[in-house]
Structures are given as structure tokens and as C-alpha cells.
């Protein structure tokens, strides 16, 4: 019961604290707002995305699948969620002829093991070039054994790679309102280990959101934050993730 209450609180905080953008926002210029600024090291990865690079350079459609929880989207404003913003920014930064499509698979309240068990059939149905797998929050809330979590993430990554996709891991969301209730560090550490072992990029959402909060760009603690804050944070995450993908795939030469 405690875990269910905590999960609801975290998902609520996450839903208020991340992506967004109305339809008119999706057509906005690619220049990032000042609030989106991040140190360059948070958007750099030594691991690469060769299949993304191959698809773009060959002029093939770039199909991206985001697998995540409720914090992946905004039910009342899907075009404002970070996957939608990532798609919009990629379309702006890549050549006009490049077709980019981002779809979302919600694995609500599923642990990494539960989500990974669906990947074989999911990949057969979707056949994406790139999968962004957002995971860790539910496992941390349920106090899943960190070693079991690492094993589940490993199995999931292997399944995605065997299906022919590049993989980006995205770790837990950061919320100052719940950080004392959840032991996030073991899950953050294990995701980094899996990313290193399989030479795949890790988008460090946790550190990025904490950076914005600590630097005062966004107040993620305030209980009065409204939908506009969610839109701003999701917009920044979408922009950051788009640039992260471009850099990891070394697509700078094909940008407009």
C-alpha cells in the first residue's frame, strides 16, 4: 500500500514537472529558451547511434519509439510532451527531406523486468530505428533489488538490439519532493553500468532535471506549479534529447 501511494505521488510530481507544448509551440524556432541551458557534458556521450546515422545519411525515415511511464506524456496536450517536442526539434534541425516520426509506448507502473518482457512483440510490431527506454522510477519505488533491476535492464537492452534498433537509456526523473522517500542512486548507478557494458548512450534525465532545479531555472519543489511549468520542462527535455541524439549519431554535418 505504501508503494502504491508513493508511486501515485511520484507520477503526479513527474507529470507536473516534465514535457509539453501546444500545437503552436511545435512550430516555434529551434533556438532554446534560456531556461533550457545545460552544461555540455550532460549532452555528450562517447557511445554512438550508428543505425540512426545510417538511416539519416541514406535518406530513410527515422522511426523513434519512446518506451516509458505516464511521465512520458501529457494526456491533455500530447503535442507538448517531450517525445513530441523531440520530434519537432529533430525535424527543424535535420534536412527538410528527412522524415522523422516519434511514437510512444506507455508501460504504466511496470518495472524494468515487466516492460522488457514485452519488447520482442513490441519490436516486431513497431520496427523502430531508435528506442528511447525510460525506466527505473517504478523499480526504485517498489524497492526492487538493484542487481535484479540491472539484470532486467540488460535483458531489455539485448532484446531491443537483437531486433535491430539503436538504444538510448533514460534514467529516473528528478523530483525534490520525493527524493527523501526514494533511494534512487543504486538504480542510477546500475543504468550507467548497463549503458557502459553495452556501449549505448545514457540520457541522464535525473541529473539534468536536478541541474535545472538547483540552478533556479525551474522550481520543481513548489506545490503550486501549474501546467505552464510542465510545458516548459517538457519542452526543454525534448530539445535536450533531440540534440543528444544528433550528437550521438554524429549528424552535425547533415543539420541545416
Helix (H) or strand (E) holding 50: helix 50-57
Mean pLDDT (the chain) is 86
CATH number of 2-20+47-254: 3.40.50.1110
Burial letters 169-188, b for 16+ CB under 10 A, else e: bbbbbbbbbbeeebebebbb
Q: Mean pLDDT over residues 191-195, rounded? A: 98
Among positive and negative, which fits the CA dihedral 213, 207, 159, 111? negative
> What is the structure's pLDDT at 8?
46
* Domain boundaries along the sequence of the chain: 2-20+47-254
Q: For residue 142, what pLDDT is reported?
A: 95
Give the integer Cα–Cα distance in Å for 175 and 256: 36
Q: What is the pTM of this model?
A: 0.85
Q: Quote the CA–CA distance of 24 and 29 in Å, as a whole number.
A: 11
Average pLDDT over residues 214-235: 78
Residue with the bigger pLDDT between 145 and 13: it is: 145
Q: Does residue 181 carry a pLDDT above 50?
A: yes
The answer, yes or no, to whether residue 24 has pLDDT greater than 50, is no
Q: Which residues pair with 104 in a beta bridge?
A: 66
The Cα 2–Cα 6 span in angstroms is: 6
On the question of pLDDT at 22 being above 60, the answer is: no
Amino acid at each position: 500500500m505504501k508503494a502504491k501511494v508513493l508511486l501515485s505521488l511520484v507520477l503526479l510530481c513527474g507529470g507536473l514537472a516534465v514535457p509539453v507544448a501546444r500545437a503552436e509551440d511545435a512550430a516555434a524556432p529551434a533556438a532554446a529558451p534560456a531556461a533550457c541551458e545545460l552544461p555540455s557534458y550532460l549532452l555528450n556521450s562517447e557511445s554512438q547511434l550508428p543505425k540512426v546515422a545510417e538511416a539519416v545519411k541514406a535518406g530513410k525515415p527515422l522511426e523513434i519509439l519512446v518506451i516509458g511511464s505516464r511521465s512520458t506524456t501529457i494526456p491533455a496536450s500530447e503535442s507538448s510532451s517531450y517525445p513530441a517536442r523531440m520530434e519537432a526539434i529533430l525535424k527543424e534541425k535535420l534536412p527538410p527531406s528527412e522524415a522523422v516520426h516519434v511514437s510512444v509506448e506507455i508501460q504504466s507502473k511496470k518495472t524494468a523486468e515487466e516492460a522488457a518482457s514485452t519488447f520482442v512483440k513490441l519490436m516486431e510490431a513497431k520496427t523502430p530505428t531508435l528506442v528511447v527506454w525510460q525506466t527505473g522510477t517504478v523499480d526504485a519505488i517498489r524497492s526492487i533489488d538493484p542487481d535484479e533491476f540491472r539484470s532486467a535492464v540488460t535483458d531489455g537492452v539485448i532484446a531491443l538490439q537483437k531486433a535491430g534498433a539503436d538504444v538510448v537509456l533514460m534514467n529516473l526523473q528528478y523530483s525534490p519532493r520525493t527524493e527523501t522517500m526514494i533511494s534512487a542512486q543504486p538504480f542510477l548507478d546500475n543504468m550507467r553500468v548497463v549503458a557502459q557494458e553495452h556501449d549505448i548512450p545514457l540520457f541522464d534525465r535525473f541529473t539534468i532535471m536536478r541541474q535545472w532545479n538547483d540552478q533556479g531555472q525551474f522550481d520543481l519543489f513548489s506545490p503550486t506549479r501549474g501546467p505552464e511549468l510542465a510545458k516548459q520542462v517538457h519542452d526543454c527535455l525534448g530539445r535536450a534529447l533531440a540534440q543528444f541524439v544528433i550528437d550521438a549519431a554524429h549528424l552535425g554535418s547533415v543539420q541545416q
